[in-house]
Amino acid sequence: MKLNADSKILLNSGFEIPRLGLGVFQVVAGQYAKNLIMDAFKSGYRHIDTAKVYGNERTVGEAVRQCGIPREEIFVTTKLWNSDQGFDTSISAFNESLKQLGLDYIDLFLVHWPLEDVRVDSWKALETLYEGGSLRSIGVSNFMIDHLEELIEQSSIIPAVNQVELHPYNYQHRKDLVEFCQSIGTQVEAYAPLTRGQRLNDQKLVKKAEKYGKTPAQILIRWSLQKDFIVIPKSANIDRVEENLKVFDFSIESTDMDEIDHYNEDLIVCWNPAEVV
């Protein structure tokens, strides 16, 4: 599989998303974060994943605007927070995110969570915004098959992306969802791809990493890429940010991919959307 740091996936909007991005959940807004993000861009990252609820949109926007790289070369995702869901409030929240970021457009705006009763109205607001030009692609996050079926039935645009918790420790548990997304042309984006660090010392994984002369984190990221997922590992440490990008000079053999596919423990390290009706 030929993959490199510039590899992208075509979304159903016609725009491309870089396969590997930097997640900035729990990266505290401010000068340190701004420098970290600008250093990440220098290292080769071209994709950043934030959200209103992370409280760092302003910092992300400053880094994007001041890094010296043309705006159109950087892909920025942000998300609609739960307290803003509903039609009118989603429109206002999008405009507020755009203002916080200080950008002319957002590459990808996601409904952060399939909030009961209002998620379809929120989605319809995103469809309206999508027609407006300040938003290149729209998608969802934490949507399970039932939630996606409901959207498809009640609206007209298929989400470009579904961002969900995905790593080898829950892959079997999420396989039906992955296949469903692929069947409707929705790209799967893996969040918490490093299990928030919870399985980086798993001996099976450590041994695989030794075999390839890589770190456990690099094996998990490379696994995601070879599964055709978009992947957004987070680090607030520049050495680890750079380490996480060094995944394009090796590939995991298919027998090892099969083994890693079965590390499953139904592990959920974040919130569990399967509980939302």
Ligand X SMILES: NC(=O)c1ccc[n+]([C@@H]2O[C@H](COP(=O)([O-])OP(=O)(O)OC[C@H]3O[C@@H](n4cnc5c(N)ncnc54)[C@H](OP(=O)(O)O)[C@@H]3O)[C@@H](O)[C@H]2O)c1
Catalytic residue IDs: 54
Q: Which residues bind ligand X (CB under 6 A)?
A: 23-25, 49, 112, 141-142, 163, 191-197, 200, 215, 217, 232-237, 240, 243-244, 270
Nearer to ligand X, 103 or 221 (CB): 221
For residue 196, the minimal CB distance to ligand X (Å) is 4
Give me the least distance between CB of 184 and ligand X, in Å please: 19
Nearer Cβ to ligand X (144/194): 194
Minimum separation from the CB atom of position 193 to ligand X (A)? 5
Phi, psi of 176 (to 5 degrees): -60, -40
> 54 burial class (0-12, 13-18, 19+ CB within 10 angstroms)?
buried
CA-based nearest residue to 112, from 76, 139, 144: 139
Q: Residue number with the shortest CB distance to ligand X? A: 23
> Closest CB to ligand X among 37 and 153?
37
Q: Which amino acid is it at 263?
A: Y
| DSSP 8-state class, residue 195 | G
Q: Which residues contact 196 (CB under 8 A, 6 or more apart)?
A: 269, 270
Structure tokens at 57: 């949109």
User: In whole angstroms, what separates CA 203 from the centre of its chain?
Assistant: 27
> Rounded to the nearest whole angstrom, what is the least distance from the CB of residue 216 to ligand X in the complex?
7
Q: What share of the chain is helix, strand, coil (3-state, %, to 5)?
A: 45, 15, 40
Nearer to ligand X, 102 or 197 (CB): 197
CB of 51 to ligand X, least distance (A): 7
Q: Which candidate, 53, 52, 54, 57, places its Cα nearest to that of 34?
A: 57
Nearer to ligand X, 132 or 198 (CB): 198
